[in-house]
């Protein structure tokens, strides 16, 4: 089959439509104009990405503070809304199979089972729950503080709150404990990366110290090998160090250089130091990585790899509008880096939108408000009246 170059088709079409041109009115200017149009539409090596961005931005409806995360909550509670509420037997299943920590709120006081596997994580969650007690009725619930989710789609629908889940899980998402306390302890954050409010302040300063024009035109990643999905980026960096600086750091599971892909572990860097670079990579680890939200506050462009593991706020952010989506196997990473390097204005605009979203919609007040909404929704769906469990301890 003969394939006709679309540019020549355009010229022919143009000549046909403009009969006057054939009679001498067809000018070089006109041809150039058509060519320019064609180049713009078909011949620009980056037109695919540009069109994706144009479309995404055109279709994006900025959310209002009150309803940014409504769709996530609807989706998380849909099963119980459609099935007559949360049954006590399902709650008891979650409690007795130890899918998380058991809490009760009775008469506006918070009680918790004695054993909390990760005390800092429980403390991080209780910081938010404790502030809401005057607004909440008697209720009881299970909070999972492990990294991974507990309610696979095809298992029993246990009502369990988890901080992260894969797209197929049925856990009810809650804002992670690290917004206040806990999180991975690394040399730069020896007691855990928590205190989102303080990170916001520090990153605000760092972002001003490293505005877009001063940032290095290079991709950047530091983190441990919590998932081998990160390997291709580390290998790409070893092959093309001027395009991307990505290296593995140690974590508690590190035993030998095998765990850092046969090289010595890199020195850990603070979130503020990430702001020196234009393009910052985010990956899932065991579950969603806590790094994600911090990266946006640098006003750098976030390259988000894969779309499976989420936290409660992920769904409100749009690929191409707020971040660059990268396929899980990183096959497109190099191409996407070339694209943003050659289209600096577009890259900066996406970085700016991502920054604004997090700055405006992921404030401590938004975290507090999300906790209130999920606990109220849960209590409205509860089909039993909780009785004081004497084995639980009063918190606060």
Active site residues: 147
Tokens of 148: 């991974």
Q: Give the shortest CB-361-to-ligand UDP separation in angstroms.
A: 20
Other Cβ atoms less than 10 A from the Cβ of 237: the count is 20
Which of positions 210-229 make contact with ligand UDP (CB under 6 A)? Answer: 222-224, 226
The residues, ordered by sequence, that sit 6+ positions from 211 with a Cβ below 8 Å of its Cβ are 299
Q: Is 246 in the site for ligand UDP (CB under 6 A)?
A: no
- Residue 377's φ and ψ, nearest 5 degrees, are -60, -45
d(C-alpha 32, C-alpha 206), whole Å:
47
Q: Is 196 in the site for ligand UDP (CB under 6 A)?
A: no
Q: Give the shortest CB-114-to-ligand UDP separation in angstroms.
A: 28
Q: Give the shortest CB-288-to-ligand UDP separation in angstroms.
A: 8
- Please identify, among the stretches 53-61, 185-193, 340-348, 372-380, the one whose residues bind ligand UDP according to the rule CB under 6 A: 185-193
Closest CA to 170 of 194, 144, 201, 189: 144
Q: Which residue is nearest to ligand UDP, using beta carbons?
A: 285
Q: Is 186 in the site for ligand UDP (CB under 6 A)?
A: yes
Q: Is 309 in the site for ligand UDP (CB under 6 A)?
A: no
Q: Is 194 in the site for ligand UDP (CB under 6 A)?
A: no
- Please identify, among the stretches 1-9, 133-141, 268-276, 313-321, the one whose residues bind ligand UDP according to the rule CB under 6 A: 268-276
The length of the chain in residues reads 396
Tokens of 170: 């049925």
Q: Is 112 in the site for ligand UDP (CB under 6 A)?
A: no
In degrees, rounded to 5, the angle at the alpha carbon of residue 74 between the alpha carbons of residues 72 and 75 is 65
CB 340 within 8 A of CB 301: yes
* Burial of 87 per CB tally in 10 Å (0-12, 13-18, 19+): middle
Q: Is 173 in the site for ligand UDP (CB under 6 A)?
A: no
Do the bridges between strand 216-223 and strand 244-248 make them parallel or antiparallel, or are there none, so unpaired? parallel
Which of positions 288-307 make contact with ligand UDP (CB under 6 A)? Answer: 289-291
CA dihedral 71, 323, 335, 209 (to 10 degrees): -170
Q: Which is nearer to ligand UDP, 124 or 285 (CB)?
A: 285
Question: For the chain, give me the number of helices (H) and strands (E)?
Answer: 14, 13
Report the residue from 100, 124, 182, 184 that binds ligand UDP according to the rule CB under 6 A: 184
Report the residue from 129, 143, 172, 193 that binds ligand UDP according to the rule CB under 6 A: 193
The footprint of ligand UDP (CB under 6 A) covers 184, 186, 188, 193, 222-224, 226, 249, 251, 268-269, 271, 285-286, 289-291
């Amino acid at each position: 089959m003969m394939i006709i170059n679309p540019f020549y088709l355009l010229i022919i079409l143009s000549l046909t439509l403009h009969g006057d041109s054939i009679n001498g009115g067809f000018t070089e200017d006109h041809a150039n104009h058509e060519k320019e149009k064609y180049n713009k539409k078909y011949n620009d090596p980056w037109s695919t990405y540009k069109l994706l961005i144009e479309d995404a931005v055109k279709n994006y409806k900025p959310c209002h503070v009150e309803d940014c995360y409504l769709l996530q909550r609807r989706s998380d509670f849909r099963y119980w809304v459609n099935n007559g509420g949360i049954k006590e037997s399902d709650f008891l299943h979650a409690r007795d199979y130890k899918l998380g920590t058991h809490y009760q709120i009775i008469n506006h006081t918070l009680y918790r089972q004695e054993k909390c596997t990760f005390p800092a994580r429980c403390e991080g969650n209780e910081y938010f729950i404790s502030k809401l007690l005057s607004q909440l009725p008697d209720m009881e619930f299970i909070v999972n503080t492990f990294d991974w989710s507990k309610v696979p789609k095809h298992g029993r629908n246990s009502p369990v709150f988890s901080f992260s889940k894969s797209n197929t899980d049925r856990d009810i998402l809650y804002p992670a404990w690290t917004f206040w306390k806990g999180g991975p302890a690394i040399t730069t954050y020896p007691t855990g990366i928590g205190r989102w409010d303080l990170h916001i302040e520090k990153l605000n300063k760092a972002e001003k110290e490293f505005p877009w024009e001063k940032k290095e035109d290079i991709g950047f990643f530091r983190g441990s090998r919590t998932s081998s999905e990160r390997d291709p980026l580390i290998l790409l960096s070893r092959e093309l160090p001027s395009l991307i600086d990505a290296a593995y750091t140690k974590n508690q599971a590190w035993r030998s250089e095998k765990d850092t892909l046969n090289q010595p572990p890199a020195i850990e860097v603070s979130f503020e130091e990430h702001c020196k670079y234009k393009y910052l990579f985010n990956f899932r680890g065991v579950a969603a990585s806590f790094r994600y939200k911090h990266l946006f506050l640098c006003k750098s462009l976030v390259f988000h790899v894969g779309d499976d593991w989420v936290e409660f706020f992920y769904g409100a952010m749009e690929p191409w509008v707020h971040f660059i989506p990268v396929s899980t196997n990183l096959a497109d990473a190099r191409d996407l880096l070339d694209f943003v390097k050659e289209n600096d204005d577009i890259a900066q605009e996406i970085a700016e939108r991502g920054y604004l979203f997090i700055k405006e919609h992921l404030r401590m007040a938004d975290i507090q408000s999300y906790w209130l909404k999920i606990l109220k929704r849960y209590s409205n769906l509860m089909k039993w009246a909780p009785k004081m469990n004497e084995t639980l301890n009063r918190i606060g």
